Each structure stands twice: as C-alpha cells, then as structure tokens.
C-alpha cells in the first residue's frame, strides 16, 4: 500500500492511501511548520504507510501535534505508534474527548483544547472548533487554519476565504461546499440548522 501526497494549501498536505481490505481511501493532513501538525494518524495497521509519506515532508521525529476529528481507529488508531517515533508529540482533543477517551488510550498525556482556542504552529494558527456529533460522536471537533483559510475535518478539506472572526461560521451549522480541481473541497458559507431557523 502506498500513499499519495498532495499540497492542498501552502505547506498543508493531504496524505491519501487506498486500503483494499476495506475498499476505502483514508486521508491524513500534515501542516508543515515550526511545530508540525498531523490531522489523523490513520489505522494502526497503516502506520508504516503513513510514516513513509510523512517522511517525504518532514523528519517524523519533529512532529509536535496530532489532532483528530473524533475518537475512532481510522482517526487515531496509530497515536501511540507516533508517540514512539516523535519524542515531543502530543495529541490534541476537546474536553469531552480528553476526559472520556484520550487520557485512557494515549501512552503520553495529551493537551485539552477549549472550544475556540488557538494553537500557534509558527506561521500557521489553528483554531479548535468543538462540533459535538459532527461528524460522529460527542467528542467531535475540527481544526481551522486561520492563516490559509483551510478547514481540516474527517476525510475532506475545505478551503476558501472564510471570515476569521467567526471561524468558518462555527461549522456547527450545515455547510455548502463545491469541489475544486486538485484542492479538495472549497468552503462556500453556511446555513442555519432547521432548529435555529424555527426559533
């Protein structure tokens, strides 16, 4: 199995690998900066494939942060494998994810982020957005790169001119996206949920 690496924004890379056992393509995202950030580790069994792809972009030992949208094997199954390779790496999660899953699973203590908290990587600034039950469990969340206007989520990346003041309209509401050649998905705005509209 091999990964395909695509630069989707300046120093932001999508790492994609098709797993024939599942018939699914898995994606991770790497932000290359003074403190490199990896969004999703992939499955534990796919760790050698992901590691080889990351090695083409950075020295894996310098990886500083790991984020994930929610706690499942394809998002963070190889978390502890990364801890063995990168001596300073820490996983990032919101309060619920840290309390219920991360503190028990991770070999190394993680960092708990508040909703809206900004994580400076160097040139890039990532804002953590807690989004319970979007895309999955109550621990779900996204990372929004305020520098490049890139939203890092489960298996897709939206890119565009989102207003930084509202952090991509909080992502909690439904989003309208369109595909842009070679760029993943482009963020086009948000709509209020039915519940909000009925108020």
% residues pLDDT > 70 (the chain): 77
Q: For residue 155, what are the domain limits?
A: 3-198
Q: Would you place residue 10 in the very low, low, confident or very high pLDDT band (cuts 50, 70, 90)?
A: very high
More confident residue, 182 or 84: 84
CATH number assigned to the domain comprising residue 98: 3.60.15.10
Provide the number of structural domains found in the chain: 1
Structure tokens at 84: 């063995």
Mean pLDDT for all residues in the chain: 80
Give the C-alpha distances (Å, rounded to integers) separating 63 from 55, 107, 194.
Answer: 10, 16, 41
Q: Averaged over 40-66, what is the pLDDT?
A: 95
Asked if pLDDT for residue 7 goes beyond 80, the answer is yes
Q: Would you place residue 82 in the very low, low, confident or very high pLDDT band (cuts 50, 70, 90)?
A: very high
pLDDT, one tens digit per residue, over 138-159 is: 888 999 999 999 998 765 334 4
Q: How far apart are CA 71 and CA 117, in angstroms?
A: 19
pLDDT, residue 190, reads: 39
């Amino acid at each position: 199995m091999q990964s395909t690496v695509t630069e989707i924004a300046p120093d932001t890379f999508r790492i994609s690998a098709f797993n024939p056992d599942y018939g699914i393509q898995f994606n991770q995202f790497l932000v290359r900066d003074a403190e490199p950030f990896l969004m999703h580790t992939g499955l534990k069994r796919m760790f050698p494939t992901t590691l080889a792809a990351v090695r083409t972009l950075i020295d894996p030992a310098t990886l500083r942060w790991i984020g994930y949208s929610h706690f499942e094997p394809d998002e963070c199954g190889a978390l502890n494998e990364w801890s063995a390779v990168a001596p300073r790496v820490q996983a990032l999660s919101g309060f619920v994810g840290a309390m219920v899953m991360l503190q028990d699973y991770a070999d190394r203590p993680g960092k708990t982020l508040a909703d809206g908290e900004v994580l400076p990587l160097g040139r890039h600034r990532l804002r953590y957005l807690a989004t319970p039950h979007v895309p999955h469990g109550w621990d779900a969340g996204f990372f929004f790169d305020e520098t490049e206007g890139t939203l890092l989520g489960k298996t897709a990346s939206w890119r565009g001119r989102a207003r930084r003041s509202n952090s991509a309209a909080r992502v909690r509401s439904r989003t309208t996206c369109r595909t842009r050649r070679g760029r993943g998905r482009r963020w086009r705005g948000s709509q209020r949920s039915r519940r909000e509209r009925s108020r």
